[in-house]
Structures are given as structure tokens and as C-alpha cells.
């Protein structure tokens, strides 16, 4: 029997979706966020990282971490601010995007 979801948020409440989203996050190979956790560290402990994330989403207690701000140079000598979210927040944000782009 096919499982029927009534909202995109319902889909996020299952580890399978967040694990699939992590593959996309991992392929981007970005720098660590404010918590200092690299994508490789997150991947090493993937089940232990995703399970609490799913629990927080179910309980509606999930809160994203602050974004790490770094300055990157622009042409002409100016700099612009770039925000780097934590890996767990990138994963949570990536899931709805990947579902909508199906």
C-alpha cells in the first residue's frame, strides 16, 4: 500500500527523506557552520544526527542554529557577507527544496 502524505512537512518527519536530502547537501561540499561540524563529521554519525532532528521536527521544537557570517572579497576591493548555516540546518532546508523540484 502506498503511503499518502497530506503535507510536505509530514514527509520531513521520516528519516528516509532527510537521509536522501543529506546526499545533496554532501555533494555540495561546503564549509562548516557556526557549530564547526563538517559534512564529513555529520556523515560519520548520520543515524545519530538525523534521529534527533526528526524527533525535534515531530515535536515542533526544532530551531535552526545561528548562521556563521564570513566576509568574502568582491572585485574592486570591497567585501560582502556570506552566511554559512550548520550542516543539520542545511539538511533540513534541503529536503523541501528537493521535494518541490521533483
Containing domain of residue 80, as a range? 8-100
Task: Answer whether residue 44 is part of any domain.
Answer: yes
Task: Answer whether residue 1 is part of any domain.
Answer: no
At residue 85, the pLDDT reads 94
Residue 82 Cα distances to 40, 54, 67, 68, angstroms: 22, 28, 9, 8
Task: Answer whether residue 3 is part of any domain.
Answer: no
Task: Answer whether residue 95 is part of any domain.
Answer: yes
Q: Do the Cβ atoms of 39 and 26 come closer than 8 Å?
A: yes
At residue 23, the pLDDT reads 87
User: Number of structural domains, the chain?
Assistant: 1
Task: Answer whether residue 2 is part of any domain.
Answer: no
Task: Answer whether residue 85 is part of any domain.
Answer: yes
The tens-digit pLDDT sequence of the chain (102 residues) is 566 556 777 777 778 888 888 888 888 878 899 999 999 999 999 989 999 998 998 899 999 999 999 999 988 889 999 999 999 999 888 877 776 666
Amino acid at each position: 500500500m502506498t503511503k499518502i502524505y497530506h503535507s510536505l512537512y509530514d514527509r520531513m518527519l521520516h528519516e528516509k527523506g532527510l537521509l536522501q536530502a543529506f546526499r545533496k547537501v554532501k555533494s555540495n561540499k561546503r564549509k562548516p557552520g557556526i557549530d564547526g561540524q563538517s559534512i564529513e563529521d555529520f556523515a560519520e554519525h548520520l543515524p545519530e544526527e538525523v534521529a534527533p532532528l526528526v524527533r525535534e521536527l515531530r515535536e515542533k521544537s526544532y530551531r535552526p542554529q545561528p548562521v556563521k557570517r564570513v566576509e568574502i572579497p568582491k572585485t574592486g576591493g570591497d567585501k560582502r557577507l556570506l552566511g554559512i548555516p550548520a550542516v543539520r540546518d542545511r539538511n533540513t532546508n534541503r529536503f523541501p527544496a528537493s521535494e518541490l523540484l521533483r
